[in-house]
Chain A
Amino acid sequence: MEVSTQSTIQADVKTQVKNKKSTLLSRLRENRVTYLSLWFLVLIHIVVFLGPFLWTVNPEDLQQAGALAGWSLQHPFGTDDLGRDVFARMLTGGRVTLVVGLGAMLCSLLIGTVIGACAGFMGKVVEAVLMRLTEAMMAIPTFFFVLVALTVIGTSPLMVVLVIAFSSWMEIARVVYGETLKWKQYEFVEAANASGATPFRILTRYIIPQIIPSIIVAGTLTIAGAILTESAISYLGLGIQPPTATWGNMLQNSQQYIWTAPILGVLPGIAITVVVLAYNFLGDGLRDALDPKFVKK
Chain B
Amino acid sequence: MLRFMINRAGQSAILLLIVTLITFFLVNLAPGGPSSTMRMEATEEERQAIVEKLGLDQPVHIRYVEWLKNGLHGDFGTSFTSSEPVIQRIMERLPYTIELTIFTIVISVILGIFFGVISAVKRGKVGDHVINFVSVIGLSVPAFWLGLMLILLFSITFKWLPSSGVGPRGEDFELWGWISHLIMPVLILTTTVLPHIVRFTRSSMLEVTSQNYIRTARAKGAKESVVLYVHALRNALIPIITIIGMLIPRLLSGAVITEAIFGWTGIGTLIIEAARGRDYPLVMGITVMITLVVVFCNLIVDFLYSRVDPRVKNV
Contacts and interface: CB of A to CB of B under 8 A. Distances in A.
B140 A144 contact: no
Nearest to B267: A144
Interface stretch (B19-27, B53-61, B220-228, B307-315): B19-27
A139 B257 CA distance: 19
Nearest to A151: B275
A281 B136 contact: yes
Contacts of A236: 144, 257, 260, 272
Contacts of B275: 147-148, 150-151, 238
A269 B249 contact: no
A284 B139 CA distance: 12
A143 B136 contact: no
B236 interface: no
Interface stretch (B30-38, B41-49, B78-86, B110-118): B30-38
Contacts of A269: 142, 145, 148-149
Nearest to B277: A151
Given A138-B249, A139-B298, A151 B290 contact: no
A143 B294 contact: no
B286 interface: yes
Given A152-B33, A280-B136, A144 B290 contact: yes
A188 B15 CA distance: 39
Contacts of A153: 30-32
A281 B137 CA distance: 9
B32 A232 contact: no
Contacts of A111: none
A141 interface: yes
B205 interface: no
A266 B18 CA distance: 41
Contacts of A259: 156
B234 interface: no
B245 to A, nearest CB: 9
A284 B142 contact: no
B19 A141 contact: no
Interface in A258-297: 258-259, 262, 265-266, 268-269, 272-273, 276-277, 280-281, 284, 297
B140 A140 contact: no
Interface in B94-147: 124, 136-137, 139-145
Contacts of A231: 142, 144-145
Nearest to B294: A139
A133 B19 CA distance: 10
B12 to A, nearest CB: 9
A153 B27 CA distance: 9
Contacts of A273: 137, 140-142, 145
A151 B140 contact: no
B257 A144 contact: no
A154 B32 contact: yes
A145 interface: yes
B305 to A, nearest CB: 15
A231 B141 CA distance: 11
B1 interface: no
A228 B142 contact: yes
B184 interface: no
B144 A143 contact: no
B249 A148 contact: no
Contacts of B32: 152-154
Interface of A: 132-133, 136, 138-145, 147-154, 224, 228, 231-232, 235-236, 238, 248, 251, 254-255, 258-259, 262, 265-266, 268-269, 272-273, 276-277, 280-281, 284, 297
User: What 3 pairs between A and B have smallest CB-CB spacing?
Assistant: A143-B253, A269-B145, A141-B252
Interface of B: 14-15, 18-19, 22-23, 26-27, 30-33, 124, 136-137, 139-145, 148-149, 151-152, 156, 246, 248-254, 256-257, 260, 271-272, 275-276, 278, 283, 286-287, 290-291, 294-295, 298
6 contacts: A138-B249, A141-B249, A144-B253, A148-B23, A151-B276, A152-B27
Given A143-B253, A144-B256, A153-B31, 5 more contacts: A139-B298, A140-B291, A142-B253, A235-B144, A269-B149
